[in-house]
């Protein structure tokens, strides 16, 4: 039998962790008013956790659909950076590149970049992407089924959103300028909450990126 590649155990471990994370997404999605089918469709078709949590958090507080979509898409912009950074690994036919694009997320990109050889990087990308895809979707289904009928306030589900966003933000703070950008973004949002319609504070927080542009 062929020896499994060195990254196989890591890929599976990341997949399992993401599956557990998928459970919390499923619970929150149905708590916000999505049907079980919608929660599952989101994990299958959107397949990028930050965007899914952001869109659902807008729905949970009764925000508009447009705000939910725009907030979700803005959080997905970092996947563009990931796709650009590993594009040379993902060459191939049209169908192959279309499928690879769907799997461009935090975990698969990080695993690909952690390998030294291009062949291993390619293998780590696909294996991690598939492991996360399968387990994220299974987790979502389980969470959505378990969460149906829970009252969000009584079970503290509303407090799960900021906790989830904090857990997503923490690893990104290691980038240069990231702590300053985060602080300025939070300040912009908190000032605008009483002054603007729902959704605007989060969108306007993007202006904090100007801090990083100026400080090249």
Could you tell me the smallest distance in angstroms from the CB atom of residue 75 to other proteins?
5
Which candidate, 42, 46, 15, 47, places its Cα nearest to that of 30?
Answer: 42
Which among 36, 13, 9, 67 has a CA at the least distance from the CA of 143? 36
In the complex with other proteins, the residue whose CB is nearer, 3 or 36, is 36
| DSSP letter (8 states) at residue 4 | P
Provide the minimum distance between the beta carbon of 167 and other proteins in the complex, in angstroms, as a whole number: 5
- Asked whether the CA dihedral 153, 51, 189, 163 is positive or negative, the reply is positive
Of 7 and 21, which CB lies nearer to other proteins in the complex structure?
21
d(C-alpha 80, C-alpha 105), whole Å: 9
CB nearer to other proteins: give 1 or 166: 166
The whole-angstrom separation of Cα 115 and Cα 81 is 18
The sign of the CA dihedral 80, 57, 61, 59 is: positive
By beta-carbon proximity to other proteins, the closer residue of 6 and 196 is 196
Question: CB 7 → other proteins: shortest distance, Å?
Answer: 20
Q: Does 174 bind other proteins (CB under 8 A)?
A: no
Residues 179-198 that bind other proteins (CB under 8 A): 181-186, 188-190, 193-198
> 9 vs 207, which CB is nearer to other proteins?
207
88-117 footprint of other proteins as x/- string (CB under 8 A): x-xx-----xx-xxx-xx------------
CB neighbourhood size of 114 (10 A): 13
User: Shortest approach of other proteins to residue 116 CB, angstroms?
Assistant: 18
Pull the structure tokens for residue 96.
């192959």
Q: Which of residues 1-30 bind other proteins (CB under 8 A)?
A: 17, 20-21, 23-24
Of 98, 89, 145, residue with least CA distance to 121:
89
Q: Tell me the closest approach of the beta carbon of residue 47 to other proteins, in angstroms.
A: 7
Query: Which is nearer to other proteins, 30 or 127 (by Cβ)?
Result: 30
């Amino acid at each position: 039998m062929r020896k499994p590649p060195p990254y196989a155990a890591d890929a599976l471990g990341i997949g399992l962790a993401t599956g557990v994370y998928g459970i919390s997404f499923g619970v929150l999605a149905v708590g916000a008013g999505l049907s079980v089918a919608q929660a599952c469709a989101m994990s299958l078709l959107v397949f990028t956790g930050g965007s899914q949590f952001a869109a659902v958090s807008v729905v949970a507080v009764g925000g508009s659909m447009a705000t939910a979509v725009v907030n979700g898409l803005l959080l997905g912009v970092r996947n563009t950076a990931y796709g650009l950074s590993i594009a040379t690994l993902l060459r191939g036919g049209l169908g192959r590149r279309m499928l690879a694009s769907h799997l461009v997320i935090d975990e698969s990109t990080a695993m690909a970049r952690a390998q030294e050889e291009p062949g291993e990087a390619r293998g780590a990308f696909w294996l991690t992407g598939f492991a996360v895809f399968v387990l994220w979707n299974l987790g979502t289904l389980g969470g959505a089924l378990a969460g149906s009928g829970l009252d969000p306030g009584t079970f503290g589900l509303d407090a799960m959103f900021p906790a989830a966003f904090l857990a997503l933000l923490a690893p990104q703070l290691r980038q240069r300028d990231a702590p300053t950008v985060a602080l300025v973004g939070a300040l912009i949002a908190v000032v605008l909450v009483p002054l603007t319609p729902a959704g605007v504070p989060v969108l306007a927080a993007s202006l904090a990126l100007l801090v990083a542009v100026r400080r090249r």
